[in-house]
Structure 1
Amino acid sequence: MERLSLSDYEAVKIPVPWGHISGRWYGNRKERPILAIHGWLDNLGTFDRLIPLLPDYIGVLCIDLPGHGRSSHLQPGMCYSVYDYVFVIPLVMKEYGWSKVSLMGHSLGGVLSFIYASLAPHTVDMIVSLDILLPLRNDIDYMALSIEKQLLDVERQKLGNYSEPPSYTHSELGKVLAKGSFNSVSPELAKHLLHRQLAKSKLYPERFYFSRDIRVKYYHYIDIDQALGAEMARRIRKKPYLIIKGSLSPYLASHSYEAISILAEDNPHFEFHEVENGTHHLHLHAAEECAGYIVPFIQHHRPPALTSWTLSAKEDKPILRNRKGFFVWNKKKRSKL
């Protein structure tokens, strides 16, 4: 199997009403790609280690969500919300004229994929969700803090009292990002996220600050309780759905169990796998193991187009993989989570 190259991409700017969505389209640019969406405070660099492990006949369009990476920030006075992020998916589809979309999302990107699939299931043909299904339950203290921070930001805009965010040396940046991710991203792997979210300080030579919109830290969250999550899952039933969980991560919590059971019920296209010692960013630190589950899933549900096949026996020979550890979710195995 030939693989995608991290250097073979087309940089894209997708026009949206507030500016543009920035992205990289890897691999095949003649057919509809998989749309890959990163997590909260991250950017498309989160897929850097996974991309080179995927089959090269497919394309993967990785995007930066609004306010993240190199995508446009919202206009002053506006607030970020999950609903606005979900809206990015159909905007991308409209730009390229897709009637269907294949989704791969990590964390917030996985939540957006689940929400969009429940709203427009007829337009989704495949979902890969990395260490998430429903968002963690929100609490009133976070909501209060979010409003307080948003009001503070509005006041600073009104007064023109904007200064540079805290800046760091190159040697400090990896440690700062690792701490911010609760050590889910190691300092050694931080470079994959840093290369799209740094700006050079104008105040302190040789220092850099995070260029993402500070408002994304306090975006308007969505609280999906167990009953709502179950109803949303019923709208997605029978879809090819792959969930990969990090064993050390808390993000697939008990309130997701019913929704997972519904997605798996009588669904031969549902898969659930767990990466041993996997943190929330398991696709970065355990990219090879994640690819071991994702590649067969893609090959089954997005096989090569007939026009891209060759007569080479070596290339066309089916790849048989060891399915040891494969596990299809059912209610009796809730302890696996």
Structure 2
Amino acid sequence: MGTLSLSDYETVKIPVPWGYISGRWYGNRKERPILAIHGWLDNLGTFDRLIPLLPDYIGVLCIDLPGHGRSSHLPPGVYYSVYDYVFIIPLVMKEYGWSKVSLIGHSLGGVLCFIFAALSPNTVDMIVSLDILLPHRNEVKYMALSIEKQLLEVERQKLGNYTEPPSYTFSQLGKVLAKGSLNSVSPDLAHHLLYRQLKKSKLYPERYYFARDGRVKHYHYIDIDQGLGAEMARRIRKKPYLIIKGSLSPSLSQRSDEALSILAEDNPHFELYEVENGTHHIHLHAAEECASYIVPFIQHHRPPALTSWTLSGKEDGPSLKKPKGFFAWTKKKRSKL
């Protein structure tokens, strides 16, 4: 048994009422894959360093959310929201006729996985969440600014090429993306995200701009408070759930403690690990360590078909270190509740 290859994929376009969802289906295309969902302002390239470390007996379908990467933008006058993004999961399931779904999500993608699992727990058989559980608290000040920015973006899009977004030379783009991610994505890793979200400027031929829909920067956020998060977690209880946190990231905060405790309670299928010195994009800069937790989790909860097993019982997969236990951290956090 080997690992997936970044060059072995099928480009997919999943039809939706406003256009299509763009994606890449890596590896095995004969069985139901794992659906991978990126974070806010990113695209499926965020999984480029993780994909080649995953077992090749199972496929992984990575998609660009609407307005991101190479997926269609929503029509004028329609605004992006978390609710619309959650709806993408059942749309993909319907397209391929899946009755179940296995999910990997980073940041916004991880929030979508949590929400969908709470809404439709019987259809989700496994979740891997990268540096997130509940979303950050939404502030009224941000909501007011978001409305203002949305209106400005609508006017800019009406004017078309005369008001292109800010453009940059190719050498500048890595630094711009690093700054925009609060240095979670270092300039040397930026190319994994840039190749699916750039357009050549028509005003400045030597420059490029970010082609994602400007409206996604100010999408309608959802504030899941601790009480609602706990109730949602109760609907997911005892589900195979793996969470990997970056030690330097604030994204998995104490407001998630109660939901984490509920997910972990009497659940042998719950796992929580921390990547030391890990930023929010842990799967990019610490792909190997993340894979050391994700691969055994996948092998346990989505094992290969019996026909792919060898008589010797030995596999040819990657040599991975045994995941360190992290429940002590979880129990320590619980004592504060």
Deviation, 1:161, is: 8.0
Deviation, 1:311, is: 3.6
**1:11 aligns to what?**
11
**1:222 aligns to what?**
222
Deviation, 1:329, is: 6.2
Higher mean displacement: 18-27 or 300-309? 300-309
1:37 is the counterpart of 2:37: yes
Letter in 2 for 1:154: V
C-alpha separation between the residues in 2 aligned to 1:6 and 1:277? 27
Aligned length in residues: 336
- 5 Å matches for 1:245-324? 245-311=245-311, 314-315=314-315, 321-324=321-324
Deviation, 1:205, is: 1.6
Secondary structure at 2:188 match in 1: coil
Residues 134-167 of structure 1: CA deviation (Å, up to 9, x unaligned): 0010101100001111222334455668521111
- The alpha-carbon distance between structure 1 residues 328 and 202, as it changes in their structure 2 partners (threshold 3 A), is same
Letter in 2 for 1:46: T
C-alpha separation between the residues in 1 aligned to 2:128 and 2:92? 18
**2:75 aligns to what?**
75
C-alpha separation between the residues in 2 aligned to 1:277 and 1:115? 28
**1:97 aligns to what?**
97
Secondary structure at 1:14 match in 2: strand
Letter in 2 for 1:36: A
Is the contact between residue 238 and residue 263 of structure 2 (CA under 8 Å) also seen in structure 1?
Answer: yes
Is the contact between residue 309 and residue 316 of structure 1 (CA under 8 Å) also seen in structure 2?
Answer: no
C-alpha separation between the residues in 2 aligned to 1:305 and 1:84? 35
C-alpha separation between the residues in 1 aligned to 2:174 and 2:92? 32
Letter in 2 for 1:298: I
Higher mean displacement: 319-328 or 230-239? 319-328
- The alpha-carbon distance between structure 1 residues 309 and 267, as it changes in their structure 2 partners (threshold 3 A), is same
1:189 is the counterpart of 2:189: yes
C-alpha separation between the residues in 2 aligned to 1:92 and 1:12? 11
Is the contact between residue 34 and residue 59 of structure 1 (CA under 8 Å) also seen in structure 2?
Answer: yes
Residues 169-190 of structure 1: CA deviation (Å, up to 9, x unaligned): 1100000000000000000000
C-alpha separation between the residues in 2 aligned to 1:317 and 1:19? 39
Deviation, 1:225, is: 0.2
- 5 Å matches for 1:124-203? 124-157=124-157, 163-203=163-203
Is the contact between residue 265 and residue 330 of structure 1 (CA under 8 Å) also seen in structure 2?
Answer: no
Is the contact between residue 14 and residue 95 of structure 1 (CA under 8 Å) also seen in structure 2?
Answer: yes
TM-score of the superposition, structure 2-length normalised? 0.95
Is the contact between residue 12 and residue 25 of structure 1 (CA under 8 Å) also seen in structure 2?
Answer: yes
Letter in 2 for 1:71: S
C-alpha separation between the residues in 2 aligned to 1:28 and 1:94? 19
Q: How large is the Cα RMSD of the aligned pairs? A: 2.0
Residues 207-243 of structure 1: CA deviation (Å, up to 9, x unaligned): 1110000000000000000000000000000000000
**1:210 aligns to what?**
210
Is the contact between residue 69 and residue 211 of structure 2 (CA under 8 Å) also seen in structure 1?
Answer: yes
Residues 37-59 of structure 1: CA deviation (Å, up to 9, x unaligned): 00000000000000000000010
- The alpha-carbon distance between structure 1 residues 154 and 316, as it changes in their structure 2 partners (threshold 3 A), is closer
**1:46 aligns to what?**
46
Residues 218-270 of structure 1: CA deviation (Å, up to 9, x unaligned): 00000000000000000000000000000000000111000000000000000
Unaligned stretches of 5+ residues in structure 2: none
TM-score of the superposition, structure 1-length normalised? 0.95
1:231 is the counterpart of 2:252: no
Secondary structure at 1:65 match in 2: coil
C-alpha separation between the residues in 2 aligned to 1:320 and 1:39? 26
Deviation, 1:324, is: 3.2
Secondary structure at 1:102 match in 2: strand
Higher mean displacement: 3-12 or 201-210? 201-210
Residues 106-145 of structure 1: CA deviation (Å, up to 9, x unaligned): 0000000000000000000000000000001010110000
C-alpha separation between the residues in 2 aligned to 1:71 and 1:23? 8
Secondary structure at 2:126 match in 1: strand
**Identity fraction in percent:** 85
Unaligned stretches of 5+ residues in structure 1: none
C-alpha separation between the residues in 2 aligned to 1:196 and 1:320? 30
Deviation, 1:203, is: 1.3
Letter in 2 for 1:324: K
Is the contact between residue 271 and residue 329 of structure 1 (CA under 8 Å) also seen in structure 2?
Answer: no
